[in-house]
Every structure is written in structure tokens, then in C-alpha cells.
């Protein structure tokens, strides 16, 4: 079945179409879930909940824009909703300390899985803001609406996330980086 047939089949609640849609997109959406969840188990739960929402609301997809993008938006929103439901600290830092902290060329010598692990280790709100801003290109205004925080908080959380990542990267000694690169 092509994508339009899959979508129409899902709108009619045909199990074969739903199954094919799931198996076609589960890996891509699971990778997205891993960016926003604390661990694999939470990512699996988010994936399951996202597909339930996709099937429940597929009749709302009118063919405008990318279907893949529509599913990604549902998946990200599901992770954010779970985050909002949890009790968490709203960390806010004075706007004056926000500066552009970049992770220079050091990052080029570190394997991708190490970088992803460092991102996963970030505190939840920092990880969400970092992923939304740096990896999914949302603006601070959009992030503030999504997470129910001020724009300043979004900026400061991004700043803090970058500082933590920079400090994590700097803990690797050159010999460790060379060893990591040889293990690939």
C-alpha cells in the first residue's frame, strides 16, 4: 500500500493498514522518542501512546504538509505532555547571565553515541529545551508555549544545557577520545 492508501485505511480503522503504518514509522518515531524521554522504557511508552493518538486523530490529517511531520509533532507533544504531568522544578535564571556558549571543535572528536548519552543525562527540562531548540529548530517563543515557561527560562535552560554538555565533553581526556575513536 502507498502512503495515501495507508492513511485512508487507518481512517477506516483497518488493522492491516494500522499495522503497516506502525511498522513503517516505528523506528523513526522511536528515535525521536529517545531524544525526549529519560530512558528506553519511557521512550517505548511514549511511542505506544503516540501511535494511539495518531490512530485516534488520523481523521484530522487533511493532507496539508508532511504526514511524517504531523506524526513527529504528535510524538513530541506526547513527550512534552508527560513531562508537564510530572512534578518538576521550574528552573529560572536571570537573563543577564545568558550568553552564547558553544561546544567548539571538541565535539568533532567524540563519537555520536557519547554525545547522545550526554544529552540523555541532562536534567529533564534542560534536555527538552536543548532538543527542541538545537535538534528540532523550535524558537524560544514556541518552546515557552509548549512547556509553559517564559522565553527567558527557555533561553537560560538552553544555556545551562550547553554548559553541562561542554563540561561533560571537557572531562574526556585526549587519550580517552582517541581510544573511543579507535573502538568504532
- Rounded to the nearest integer, the mean pLDDT of the chain is 80
pLDDT tens, residue by residue, 28-57: 999 999 888 888 898 999 999 999 999 999
Condensed to tens digits (0 to 9), the pLDDT of residues 62-76 reads 888 899 999 999 999
* pLDDT tens readout for residues 128-176: 999 999 888 899 999 999 888 999 999 999 999 999 988 887 776 554 4
**Close Cβ partners of 96 (under 8 Å, ≥ 6 residues apart):** none
Cα(36)–Cα(32) distance, rounded to whole angstroms? 7
Q: Domain 3-85 - what CATH class?
A: mainly alpha
Confidence of residue 115 (pLDDT cuts 50, 70, 90): confident
**Residue owning grid cell 511531520:** 69
Question: In the chain, what are the domain boundaries?
Answer: 3-85, 95-183
Q: Which of 165, 22, 163 is nearest to 101 (CA)?
A: 163
Instruction: Provide the CATH number for the domain formed by 95-183 in this structure.
Output: 1.10.10.10
Burial class (CB in 10 A: 0-12, 13-18, 19+), 171: exposed
Amino acid at each position: 500500500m502507498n502512503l495515501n492508501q495507508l492513511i485512508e485505511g487507518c481512517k477506516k480503522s483497518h488493522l492491516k493498514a494500522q499495522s503497516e503504518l506502525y511498522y513503517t514509522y516505528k523506528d523513526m518515531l522511536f528515535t525521536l522518542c529517545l531524544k525526549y524521554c529519560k530512558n528506553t522504557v519511557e521512550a517505548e511508552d511514549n511511542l505506544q501512546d503516540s501511535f494511539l493518538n495518531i490512530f485516534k486523530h488520523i481523521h484530522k490529517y487533511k493532507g496539508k504538509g508532511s504526514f511524517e511531520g504531523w506524526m513527529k509533532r504528535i510524538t513530541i507533544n506526547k513527550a512534552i505532555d508527560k513531562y508537564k504531568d510530572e512534578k518538576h522544578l521550574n528552573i529560572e535564571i536571570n537573563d543577564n547571565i545568558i550568553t552564547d556558549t558553544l561546544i567548539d571543535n571538541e565535539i568533532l572528536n567524540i563519537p555520536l553515541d557519547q554525545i547522545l548519552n550526554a544529552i540523555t543525562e541532562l536534567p529533564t527540562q534542560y534536555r527538552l529545551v536543548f532538543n527542541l531548540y538545537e535538534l528540532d529548530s523550535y524558537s524560544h517563543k514556541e518552546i515557552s508555549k509548549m512547556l509553559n515557561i517564559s522565553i527567558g527560562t527557555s533561553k537560560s535552560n538552553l544555556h545551562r544545557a550547553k554548559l553541562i554538555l561542554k563540561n561533560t565533553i571537557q572531562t574526556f581526556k585526549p587519550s580517552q577520545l582517541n581510544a573511543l575513536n579507535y573502538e568504532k
